Amino acid sequence: MSLSVVILAAGKGTRMRSNLPKVLHPVAHQSMVEHVIDSARAVDADNIYLVYGFGGDVLKARIQGDDLTFVEQAEQLGTGHAVDMASPFLTDDEDVLVLYGDVPLTKVSTIEKLIQAKQENSMALLTVHLANPTGYGRIVRLGDDVVGIVEQKDATAEQLAITECNTGILLANGGDLKRWLSNLSSDNAQGEYYLTDIIAMAHSDGQTIHTAHPDTEVEVEGANNRVQLANLERAYQLRKAEELMIAGASLRDPSRIDIRGNLTVGNEVQIDVNCIFEGNVSLADNVKVGANCIIINSQIGEGAEIKPNSIIENATIGELCSAGPFARIRPGTVMKTNSHVGNFVEMKNTIMDEGAKAGHLTYLGDAEIGKKVNIGAGTITCNYDGVNKSKTIIGDGAFIGSNASLVAPVTIGKMATTGAGSTIAKDVEDETLAVSRAKQRNINGWARPTKK
């Protein structure tokens, strides 16, 4: 049977104190609604309908996907009214899953449990047991059977004592859902069309309401203000930290790591505190990442070490390499096996071959650096003439003296040497020493300036 997902994303989020639609506020560098959309895709939804209201133009500009259909809810008249906006798109012979754009942490496995709970001539409802159910709709049962949901403001004292609560997430047949939505009434304390009222309608129709439950409460928590948003962020990060540790990583402090994308790890990976991983990052076996590092869309090879306070972006770091501390490895850089860059070294669009090293205080841009090359401190490749970028090529085994300026385009031959303090603007042949300095003068009797 086909599956359509309706995601409710029309709320303004007044308590966020923001001009941004509530569902676009981020958790782990991704908007809340994008997390929900990803979950819908993960359960192989055939159609995804995004019901929007406030900030529709911004929402459409930010959220992309050929599989998304945007449905406007011009007036916010309750959750039942919101789902009903998608009714013209729903077919009678499909299942319809309702999710919420501001509830980003529902696990795919939990949604799958809900889908499995639904049987023929029934619907499925995700409920949660809360120690403090204040504010939530209560699940009303007759024996074991769910017969309805009562909202907090409409509940009796006896019903307020119920701790099984509604999450709003449900799965129903499309034809049944459309019929129930068309019969909703706004005769309640809020004057809204409650989606929850369809539970009693299903029971009256003789349908069984099967229930499924999340593993933790945070899976069904939403964010109405920035405090709640921060709580979701921390919950998400702790979940990711636990997944990493189970996968073989040792975290110095699981509460001080930020995953803002997809991080995969091998065995015996060590990650120190305050590290940020963005985009798609992979850490192979025995990788060490020091404190305060930022790694973005990069691959780190087996046995490599990223020392503290380094930034790696769109780069490949090979086996047994080391970078940092305070290294900046920019896009297009490839470090091959056992190469090394030290403190305050910056590289961009550079290939560093096996065994090459640049110990400190160096800029290498648009360069090809051969095997076992030694780059002295203070060396820079002068790769930009104000209009064009040019390449520097350094052959295997070359030795670049400290404080050298290599003016591209230029090639330094194999086993060549450049003297410290030289500006090299012409090609250097293999096994040749190149020295380019002004003649030194020692002036006797020279008086230092004095303060006026």
Look at the pTM and tell me if it is higher than 0.85. Answer: yes
| 451 in any annotated domain | no
Residues 131-151: tens digit of each pLDDT: 999 989 999 999 999 999 998
Neighbours of 254 (CB within 10 A): 17
Question: Catalytic residue positions?
Answer: 360
**Domain check: are 259 and 300 in the same one?**
yes
Q: What pLDDT is recorded for position 382?
A: 97
Confidence of residue 63 (pLDDT cuts 50, 70, 90): very high
Q: What is the pLDDT of residues 327-353, one digit of tens each?
A: 999 999 999 999 999 999 999 999 999
Cite the annotated binding site for acetyl-CoA by residue number: 377, 383-384, 402, 420, 437
Residue 170 shares a structural domain with residue 300: no
Looking at the fold, whether 251 and 215 belong to one and the same domain comes out as no
Across 433-442, average pLDDT: 88
Query: Does pLDDT of 320 surpass 90?
Result: yes
Which helix (H) or strand (E) element contains residue 83? helix 79-84
Q: Say whether both 348 and 418 belong to one domain.
A: yes
Residue among 308, 300, 340, 293 at smallest CA distance from 321: 340
The whole-number pLDDT of residue 12 equals: 83
304 belongs to a structural domain? yes
What pLDDT is stored for residue 153 in this prediction?
86
Q: In whole angstroms, what is the distance from residue 256 CA to residue 293 CA? A: 12
Shared-domain flag, residues 9 and 71:
yes
- Supply angle C-alpha 125, 30, 250, rounded to 5: 95
Residue type, 175: G
The domain spanning residue 383 has which CATH number?
2.160.10.10
Residues 376 and 360: beta-carbon distance below 8 Å: no
pLDDT tens-place string over residues 424-433: 999 999 999 9
Query: Residue 437 class from Cβ within 10 Å (0-12 exposed, 13-18 middle, 19+ buried)?
Result: exposed
Confidence of residue 55 (pLDDT cuts 50, 70, 90): confident
Return the CATH number at 168. 3.90.550.10
Residue 271 lies in a domain: yes
| 28, 97: one domain | yes
Tell me, yes or no, whether 447 lies in a domain: no
Residue-averaged pLDDT of the chain: 95
> Do 86 and 158 belong together in one domain?
yes
Tell me the per-residue pLDDT of 187-229, one tens digit each, with 9 for 90 and over: 877 788 989 899 999 999 999 999 999 999 999 999 999 999 9
Per the annotation, binding residues for UDP-N-acetyl-alpha-D-glucosamine are 8-11, 22, 73, 78-79, 100-102, 137, 151, 166, 224, 330, 348, 363, 374
pLDDT band at 154 (very low <50, low <70, confident <90, very high): confident
pLDDT at 114: 97
CB atoms within 10 A of CB 93: 9
Rounded average pLDDT over 251-275: 97
Max CA pair span of the chain: 108
Cα–Cα distance for residue pair 406/348, rounded to 1 Å? 15
Q: What is the pLDDT of residue 163?
A: 96
Assess whether 214 and 284 both reside in one domain: no
Known binding-site positions for Mg(2+): 102, 224
pLDDT of residue 293: 98
Percentage of the chain modeled with pLDDT above 70: 100
User: Is the same domain home to 194 and 267?
Assistant: no
- Residue 291's domain comprises 246-434
The pLDDT value recorded for residue 1 is 81
My answer on whether 32 and 136 are in the same domain is: yes
Indicate whether 86 belongs to any domain. Answer: yes
Mean pLDDT confidence for 63-86? 93
Is residue 414 located within the same domain as residue 298? yes
**What tokens appear for 273 in the block?**
């505190």
Exposed (0-12), middle (13-18) or buried (19+): which is 273, by Cβ within 10 Å? middle
Please give the span between the terminal C-alpha atoms of the chain, in angstroms, as a whole number. 90
Residue 450: inside a domain, yes or no? no
Residue 54 pLDDT level (bands cut at 50, 70, 90): confident
Do residues 187 and 315 share a domain? Answer: no
- The tally of domains found in the chain comes to 2
pLDDT score, position 324: 97
Domain annotation covers residue 230: no
Q: Please report whether residue 288 resides in a domain.
A: yes
Mean pLDDT of 403-421: 97
| CA distances, 81 to each of 185, 192, 319, 446 (Å) | 10, 8, 57, 89
Phi/psi region, residue 366 (left: phi>0; alpha: psi -120 to 50; beta: rest), is: left
Tell me the percentage of the chain whose pLDDT exceeds 90: 88
